[in-house]
Chain A
Amino acid sequence: MTHRYTLENVVRRYREARTGRSVEALRVRRLDVAAGEILAVVGPNGSGKSSLLETMAFLQRPDGGRILLDGRDVWAERKSLAARRRCPILLQKTVLFKTTVLRNVMYGLRMRGLGRAEARRRAEAVLRLVRLDRLAQRGNRELSGGERQRVALARLLVLGPEILLLDEPTANVDRANEQLIEQLIRQLHQRNGMTVILASHSFRQATTLADRIVTLVDGQLMPGTMDNLFTGTLCREAGVFAFRDESGLVLRFRPEAMAREDRNACPAPDTPVRIAVDTKHLLVVSDGNERMGVFSGRIESVRRHRDRCRLRVRLVEGHVLRVEMTLADYKQLGLNLGTTVRLRLADGAIHLVRTLNPDYSH
């Protein structure tokens, strides 16, 4: 498989305004994106999604590591302008220039040296595609939120990109505009086979659009969806791991339940850590030893998306775990709202996101 993007040990830092301290916003050990793939990056607010996408759009040089685009190290070869032109990004905050919709859409083409007449022709065609051709001569201030977002998307689409980076493309739009934008992304992906990297906080959007989902937690990438985040202490007791949540939840599990790279982790007994449990690696089982990585709880809610569903399971101790499974398995196990289930941690289900003590690193 051809890798369009490869990120290796990419680090981004920023300086805290209040303290002047350098803080790490992103640390990606490795991320490969295949040509023609739609990759969704999900994660809570402040997890580093925008930093990741802006780094992949070559807007900012990473503080460490390298980014390969079609196998070439862009920053080392000083080709950031050419790379930026290949990978336009829809930023989280939509800014339209103080001019008409048409001129906004023509902007990128004009920056690439295209003549006014040809740029206008292409811009008008794209405005028809996003159903804004009637507003071509409107000023930037005369648009609704959804229209603004569609203009912003049209500005990228007019460039005919082979790679498209979308940072929360439907964050501030109504449902109708959201559907229209998602439909456009799907259509264009099918028609042109472009690579799309999408940051979203919506699990529904990620599962609907993406071929693959990765989760960012505290600036670190985890495979799959990691909505189960806990902060507490982690230690080894007689060959098993024991995690104690701040609110009293205790998780005991075999080392195999830890992700491969974290199995040898051995934080000091009182070191605060954050762990993530992969929603896809929590298996609904009929039996199991409750002392060893099996938890009982009741299904509190179910959300269905295409052939998958997401359960919200409230454990006996009162904590909530989110579980993802196929709809077929859900039906086969005869599950329903209120059903009591047993959950088992599959191998590699738990990721040590980070230790919260800056002096410790594993």
Chain B
Amino acid sequence: MNECRFPLSALTCYMQTLFDALRNALHLVLTLDADVFEYAGRSVLIATVSTLIAGLIGIPLGMLVAEHEFPGKRAVVTLLNTLLALPTVVVGLLVYTFLSRTGPLGTLQLLFTVPGIIIGEVLLVVPIVTAFTLSAVARTDRDVRKTALALGASPRQTLWTVLCESRFGVLAAVIAAFGRVVSEVGVATIVGGNIDHFTRTMTTAIVLNVDMGSFALALALGIVLLAISLSINVLFQYLQGGGQP
């Protein structure tokens, strides 16, 4: 942390640190710092791909559970809600054991690689996308389905209509999943190994800098990460608003 040159109060000192961090962050961005752009790019890539895969799995799964009545449905919903609070380090450890050389998927040699991290992140956020989609579709009026059928939609077209009518909730699921992955550190550290220029992400870089005592740099990276999250959320909100006439 930067040294306080004057006998300022603790609050002023803290503000000074934040200000330095903001200045550092701006400096890193404006000078196109190669490391920061690399970490940020990797974080966004992992988050985007993981969210996309989780969406492809979780959205249909959520719809399936919401649209059908079957024995044990309540237990499935409870399980999904429990998995929302899944600790990232637990997922990291689980994926680590699977991908390690002695694990069942050891031959794929995905440990300490970006695809390995993506596998872990997908496992982490599939329950989020599924549970949020389920809730959004279940909240969509049953009469929407009936109306689509009444107007001659086929069962597949009806499902698509229900999904479109639940789009705000489904998009919220995607935003939540993206946010969870981009800010996640447990899986990225355990499965990725935080290897510079290979698997290091924004969050693991922040942890590393805190460990090394470079608080200002860590804060600067944090501010850049926040800016990325904000930009992505603004983009999603724009997309959400675009659907509403």
Question: Which residues of A approach B to under 8 Å, CB–CB?
Answer: 54, 57, 59, 81, 84-85, 88-91, 93, 95, 97-100, 107-108, 111-112, 137-140, 155-156, 159
Contacts A91-B143, A139-B244, A139-B245 given; indicate if A97 touches B165 (C-beta within 8 A): yes
Q: Which residues in chain B, 130-169, are within 8 Å of chain A measured between CB atoms? A: 141, 143-144, 146-154, 157, 161, 164-165
Nearest-CB residue, chain B, relative to A100: B245
| Given known contacts A95-B144, A98-B165, A155 and B154 CB-to-CB distance under 8 angstroms | no
Which chain A residue lies CB-closest to B154? A81
**Residues in A neighbouring B148, C-beta threshold 8 A:** 107, 111
Chain B residues positioned under 8 Å from A84 (CB to CB): 149-150, 152
Known A95-B141, A95-B144: A111·B245 in contact at CB below 8 Å: no
Shortest distance between the CB of B88 and any CB in chain A (Å): 35
In the complex, the answer to whether B151 meets A99 with C-beta atoms within 8 Å is no
Contacts of A85 in B (CB 8 A): 152
Residues of A within 8 A of B7 (CB): none
Note all chain A residues with C-beta closer than 8 A to B165.
97-98
Give the complex CA separation of A298 and B129 in angstroms: 68
Interchain residue pairs A-B with the least CB separation, the first 10: A139-B245, A85-B152, A108-B151, A95-B147, A111-B153, A95-B143, A89-B150, A93-B143, A100-B245, A111-B152
Contact pick for B144, options A81, A97, A111, A137, CB 8 Å:
A97
Find chain B residues with CB under 8 A from A159 CB.
Answer: 151-152
B245 touches A155 (CB 8 A): no
User: A268 to B150, alpha carbons, bound, how many Å?
Assistant: 44
**For the complex, what is the distance from the CA of A159 to the CA of B150, rounded to whole Å?**
12
Q: Contact: B154 with A111, CB < 8 Å?
A: yes
Residues in A neighbouring B141, C-beta threshold 8 A? 95
Which residues in B have some Cβ–Cβ distance to A below 8 Å?
141, 143-144, 146-154, 157, 161, 164-165, 243-245
Residues of B within 8 A of A89 (CB): 150
- Contact (A98, B149) CB under 8 Å given A93-B143, A111-B157: no
- What separation, in Å, do the CA atoms of A111 and B160 have in the docked complex? 11
B152, closest chain A residue (CB): A85
CA distance A98 to B139 in the complex (A): 14
The residue in B149, B152, B243 that gathers the most chain A C-beta atoms within 10 A of its C-beta is B152
- By a CB distance below 8 angstroms, the chain A residues around B143 are 91, 93, 95
What is the minimal beta-carbon distance from B147 to any residue of chain A, in angstroms?
4
A93 contacts across to B, CB distance below 8 A: 143
Q: Which residues of B contact A137 (CB under 8 A)?
A: 245
Of the A-B pairs whose beta carbons lie under 8 Å apart in the complex, a sample of 7, sorted by A's number, is A59-B146, A95-B146, A95-B147, A99-B243, A111-B152, A155-B151, A156-B151
Is the Cβ of B154 less than 8 Å from the Cβ of A107? no
Cβ A59 vs Cβ B150 within 8 A: yes
Chain A, Cβ-Cβ closest to B155: A81
Residue of B nearest to A98 (CB): B165
Q: Report yes or no: B149 in contact with A108, Cβ–Cβ below 8 A.
A: no
Q: Give chain B nearest CB distance to A99 CB in angstroms.
A: 6
Among B144, B151, B157, B164, find the residue whose CB has the most chain A CB atoms closer than 10 A: B151
Please measure, in the bound complex, the distance between the C-alpha atom of A139 and the C-alpha atom of B245, giving whole angstroms: 5
Alpha-carbon distance between A100 and B153 when the two chains are bound, in angstroms: 19
Q: Which residues of B contact A91 (CB under 8 A)?
A: 143, 146-147, 150
